[in-house]
Amino acid sequence: MAMEETGRETVEEKTPEKESKSKEMRSESVNEQPSPRCVLEIPVLGSDSDTSSCSSNSSSYSPRKPVFQKGNKDSYGLQWKNLIGNVKKKYVRSFSFIPLLTSNDKNLRRTKLAKLHASEEEHVDINSMPVPKPSWKNFTYSELAAATDNFSPENLIGKGGHAEVYKGHLSDGQIVAVKKLMKNEKQEEDRASDFLSELGIIAHINHPNAACLIGFSVDGGLHLVLQFSPHGSLSSVLFGSPERLDWKTRFKVAIGIADGLKYLHYDCQRRIIHRDIKASNILLTEDYEAQISDFGLAKWLPENWPHHVVHPIEGTFGYLAPEYFMHGIVDEKIDVFAFGVLLLEIITGRRAVDSARQSLVIWAKPLLQQNEVKELVDPGLGDNYDPSEMKRSMITASMCINHSASQRPTMIRVVELLKNKESPVEGELKYCGERGIIADSLDLQDYSRTSYLNDLNRHKQLVLE
């Protein structure tokens, strides 16, 4: 498998115009609460046998509610406590924690969390917290070095902006991917808090279409040990392989990603926004089941927050929703927009941004409007696709890339549309047929193509500056 490089950008600058718009948006936000950036409590599954397995089969999947355990005697609890203590000691001078809660009542937990303020978060004594039992192994550096042949270049399978990923063989024969967080421009403190945030988020996830964590290590650096995906990422298969991915598999992957996002937004313990949905963050299992990975930018939002405003804006150029890159607004709809771009990549075989840094969204919109199916579909597919699946994919993509977040469908609706459980209704689709697939989403009432282009160019400048 070829080594893959991926990258995301951070935009630091804010113009006075953006700042004031952003403030306006912020004041609309509930309670003006601080960012929920913190370590979440670690959910624990009922029994040891439960905890050891990752969901890998969507047909046998049923959502499981994590169970929280009180008391600090068991070794797993100690292990987690030690981990936080260790990371804190080694890397973090000050860090905020959300207390671990014992109640299984989701609403109660969410209400409590929403009421927390930064000052309260900072003074939580971790010794008095109920201790959870994580299911992961805490690896030593020598175990990981042995598994990856001392992190040899031959085992390097991927490289992102923040990490190198190595293929490894554990002593029990299991093949894993070891994600080694790199020392980059970020402060050690920030990297450690990113690591704990990612760990805390992954802990809440248990779905066949989301990456599965096997363990971690804070020995000799920060490492995540993940289930190995033999086909690598969707990006490498879609763009880096001479063999064309057939439509059946592409459509299966699209549905898998949609199911995974629906789970993160609505069915998971927390309301999780991924913030970096892109082809290189979709891994493929042996049987081409899509798994959403890389929760390094993910954020959880309390139930009663309509959205959240972040700064700096981090993500990957080409997948960013306008309201996010212009105003830093984060909610489920930014993942929906990115999913629409990903769907366009699956349909067209073109990258979100090509080598000339041209946007796929801008290229595809007029073709979607004129229903130019032949122009849009990846030429490598020829006529080898199911026309009904293709049409549903195009309609869904047009709806997802709507400039207006409120006009974009939820991931629940996206899954229904893709799986043909319900057809688009009047209002979602304005025209279909003669004039082609023209969804409401393509009526750029409050956000014209020109203003999108201007915003996009402005964003591009910031990224390139």
* Residues at the contact surface with ligand ATP, assessed by CB under 6 A: 4, 6-8, 157-158, 160-163, 165, 177, 179, 226-229, 232-233, 236, 276, 280-281, 283, 293-294, 296
Q: Which residues contact 156 (CB under 8 A, 6 or more apart)?
A: 3, 164, 165, 166
* Of residues 239 and 363, the one with the C-beta less far from ligand ATP: 239
CB of 91 to ligand ATP, least distance (A): 18
Q: Name the residue among 101, 112, 113 with its Cα closest to residue 69.
A: 101
d(CA 206, CA 53): 10
Minimum distance from residue 124 beta carbon to ligand ATP (Å): 28
Question: How many Cα atoms within 13 Å fall on the side-chain side of residue 83?
Answer: 32
Burial of 376 (0-12, 13-18, 19+ CB in 10 A): buried
Q: Do 325 and 459 contact (CB within 8 A), yes or no?
A: yes
Residue 436, burial from CB neighbour count under 10 angstroms (0-12, 13-18, 19+): middle
Nearer to ligand ATP, 294 or 345 (CB): 294
Least distance to ligand ATP from the beta carbon of 205, Å?
14
Of the pair 399, 462, the CB lying nearest ligand ATP is at 462
Minimum distance of ligand ATP from residue 238's CB (angstroms): 12
In whole angstroms, give the CA distance from residue 360 to residue 348: 9
CB contact burial 182-211 (16+ within 10 A = b; e otherwise): eeeeeeeeebbbbbbbbbbbbbbbbbbbbb
Minimal distance, residue 167 CB to ligand ATP, in Å: 7
Q: Which amino acid is at 385?
A: Y
Give the residue ranges of the annotated binding site for ATP: 180
Nearer to ligand ATP, 96 or 291 (CB): 291
Rounded CA-CA distance 168/181 in Å is 16
Residue with smaller CB distance to ligand ATP, 260 or 424: 260
Helices (H), 293-431: 322-327, 332-348, 360-369, 373-376, 387-400, 411-418
Quote the tokens at residue 410: 């939820």
The distance of closest approach from Cβ of residue 92 to ligand ATP in the complex, given in angstroms and rounded to an integer, is 20
From 276, 331, 335, 378, active-site residue: 276
Q: Which residues are annotated as a binding site?
A: 180
ω before 153 within 30° of 0 (cis)?
no
Q: Please give the C-alpha separations between residue 328 and each of 7, 31, 244, in angstroms, as whole numbers.
A: 19, 18, 36
Closest Cα partner for 147 from 167, 121, 125?
167
Q: Which is nearer to ligand ATP, 99 or 296 (CB)?
A: 296
Residue 227 or 402: which CB sits closer to ligand ATP?
227
Q: How far is the CB of 380 from ligand ATP (least distance, A)?
A: 21
Query: What does residue 359 show for φ and ψ, rounded to 5 degrees?
Result: -80, 130
Q: Which two tokens stand for residue 447?
A: 């956000």
The reply to whether 74 belongs to the active site is no
Catalytic amino acids? 276
